[in-house]
């Protein structure tokens, strides 16, 4: 069987870790891949650990014992995070995004995997030391952010639907008041989506009144789930008082500026600590 | 400024490539990160290139000239691909997935980033040598597969909506006949979603009659876009004749088996070439 050189193993290890952050790999798994002794892999992991720290990629956690192994936790440095937020601000504030009625066209951003990956990296870094079982979002625009955050935290996603679907099996439905329009709306989630007593991170693209996030919090109570936190990509500066509490946002939009034909958006002070 | 050892640079290079497949990095970018001369980076890239080939990760492409650089193209080996397809079959055929009315509960699978990442890896490997500008899908269940395939191919995604939304700006709408139920339905796509003469890969979760994929093909004609291919995760064995043509599927479902309480699903012969 083939043998690999040390720098090949280091390269392959980093590739495998980067593609599956927060995933616990056993030493035996690597012994098999590289056809190498556990002591060799341990030395490789020590080198990778140092490299990850020196390059500010996050950290490597080693867990000893029979069910132990190695895990890469990806965490953005504050400089990288602030660079991402600044890039997002210039992207979101492009003038030609203003639509009739004072709406902003953001669909291309929320469907661009490269940008969404950066957004997800910011969110997952914020929650990297929390225990989370599921990401929960509501269709449609928040799904890519939810999926990529789930990928980085290595947890499944549950997508709340606006309507009941026959392919979801038995569902729990709730009514909620949209914070910005005061309309009553319905959301449904398949009963199979979540296990009991789950720890939840709610993720959404946009928060104005906070009614949708409040609705998701209410839905989580129906599942006996505990909301660990809520992350939205953009919140509007007004109304100042939102229906949801205990949330972080990446960006804050001055929604009264749009009437004048400008989009004023800046990194959220909640993140710049 | 800090200097890094060779095996540290190899590890960091593989991490950076793995997180952004199909992305062209300039040599200068790496010179900056590692505080190293271009000749050093060239030697590192040669080592990474050999490693990627020996480990069957895909290939490294180097493009010379002023606008040149290095790119990692992730391609599954046929053994890894077949392993993924077999894993998907055992997951999809779990008995408790059968819902009243002969439907199958698949939502948890299509919202699980780890599984979806594998599905996307199979699709992106199939299309790794085609020029693609956008992935196109229709809401809702196909979105995660589309986003992760887009991430691996480094292209944006356009999501066709079932209804017109005010936040999409001007849209193009078409009516189409659902192949399985013969209902007439509407789909809309923002005019801003695609640039002119784009090359498109259509991605969806499920194909029965093929009407939805046919509708997406029709929609692409309205945008003067060229459909390079269509990939669905599951197709049903019946009806044999689908409305869409020129598509690949990952798995084939024997849809008449469900009445007997079993889910018979196997890797698609179209892939096992």
Place of tokens 């009144």: A209
pLDDT tens digit string along A186-198?
A: 999 999 999 999 9
Contact B144 A147 (CB under 8 A): yes
Q: Say yes or no to pLDDT of A235 above 80.
A: yes
Q: Spelled out in words, what is the top-level CATH class assigned to the domain A6-74? A: mainly alpha
The residue to which tokens 């593609």 are assigned: A19
Token pair 């569902």 is at which residue?
Answer: A171
pLDDT for A174 equals 95
pLDDT digits (tens, 9 = 90+) for B21-54: 999 999 999 999 999 999 999 999 999 999 999 9
CB pairs under 8 A between A and B: 189
Residues of B in contact with A148 (CB under 8 A): 113, 147, 151
d(CA A168, CA A188): 9
Query: Which residues belong to CATH 3.40.50.2020 in chain A?
Result: 78-267
The nearest alpha carbon in chain B to A3 belongs to B54
- Upper half-sphere CA count for residue A97 (Cβ side, 13 Å): 19
Residue appearing with tokens 């109304």: A239
CA distance A117 to chain B (A): 8
Instruction: Walk across the sheet containing B247-254 and list its strands.
Output: B157-160, B134-138, B199-207, B226-236, B247-254, B264-267
ipTM associated with this complex:
0.96
Residue of chain B minimizing CA distance to A150: B113
Q: What is the pLDDT of residue A66?
A: 83
Residue B163 has pLDDT above 90, yes or no: no
- Bridge partners of A188? A161, A173
**A115 has pLDDT over 70:** yes
Q: Model confidence over B97-143: pLDDT tens digits?
A: 999 888 899 999 999 999 999 999 999 999 999 999 999 999 999 99
Interior/surface letters B92-102, b for 16+ CB within 10 angstroms, e for the rest: bbeeebbbeee
Grade residue B272 by pLDDT with cuts at 50, 70 and 90: low
8 Å CB contact between A101 and A180: no
Tell me the C-alpha distance between B25 and B18, whole Å.
12
- The verdict on a CB contact (< 8 Å) between B140 and A161 is yes
Express each pLDDT in A160-173 by its tens digit.
999 878 888 999 99
Domain spanning B78-267 has what CATH number?
3.40.50.2020
Q: What is the rounded CA–CA span in Å between residue B208 and residue B256?
A: 12
Whole-structure pTM value: 0.96
Q: Phi and psi for B268 in degrees, rounded to 5? A: -70, 130
- Strand B184-190 to strand B171-177: parallel, antiparallel, or no bridges (unpaired)? antiparallel
In chain A, ranges of CATH 1.10.10.10 domains: 6-74
Helix axes A78-92 and A113-126, enclosed angle (nearest 10): 140
Mean pLDDT for B65-69 is 88
| DSSP 8-class letter at B224 | T
Q: What is the mean pLDDT of residues B148-166?
A: 94
Token digits for A137?
């979002």
Q: Which residues of A touch B107 (CB under 8 A)?
A: 159, 167-168, 190, 192-193
Chain A residues near residue B19 by CB distance under 8 angstroms:
18-19, 117
Per-residue pLDDT for B227 more than 70? yes
Q: What band does A262 get if pLDDT is binned at 50, 70 and 90?
A: very high
Amino acid B256: pLDDT: 80
Question: How many residues are present in chain B?
Answer: 273
């Amino acid at each position: 069987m083939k043998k690999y050189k040390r720098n090949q193993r280091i390269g392959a290890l980093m590739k495998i870790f980067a593609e599956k952050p927060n995933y616990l790999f056993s030493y035996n798994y690597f012994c098999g891949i590289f056809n190498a002794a556990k002591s060799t892999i341990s030395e490789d992991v020590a080198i990778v650990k140092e490299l990850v720290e020196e390059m500010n990629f996050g950290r490597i956690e080693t867990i000893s014992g029979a069910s132990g192994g190695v895990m890469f936790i990806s965490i953005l440095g504050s400089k990288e995070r602030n660079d991402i937020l600044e890039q997002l601000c210039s992207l979101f504030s492009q003038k030609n995004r203003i639509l009739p009625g004072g709406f902003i066209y953001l669909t291309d951003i929320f469907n661009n995997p490269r940008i969404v990956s950066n957004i997800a990296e910011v969110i997952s870094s914020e929650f990297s030391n929390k225990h989370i079982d599921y990401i929960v979002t509501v269709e449609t625009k928040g799904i890519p952010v939810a999926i990529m955050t789930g990928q980085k935290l290595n947890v499944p996603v549950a997508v709340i639907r606006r309507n009941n679907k026959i392919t979801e099996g038995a569902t729990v439905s709730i009514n909620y008041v949209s914070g910005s329009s005061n309309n009553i709306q319905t959301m449904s989630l398949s009963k199979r989506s979540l296990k009991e007593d789950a720890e939840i991170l709610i993720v959404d693209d946009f928060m104005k009144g906070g009614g949708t996030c409040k609705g998701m919090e209410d839905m989580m109570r129906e599942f006996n789930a505990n909301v660990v936190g809520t992350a939205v990509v953009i919140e509007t500066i007004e109304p100042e008082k939102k229906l949801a509490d205990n949330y972080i946002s990446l960006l804050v939009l001055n929604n009264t500026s749009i009437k004048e034909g400008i989009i004023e958006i800046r990194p959220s002070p909640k993140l710049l600590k």
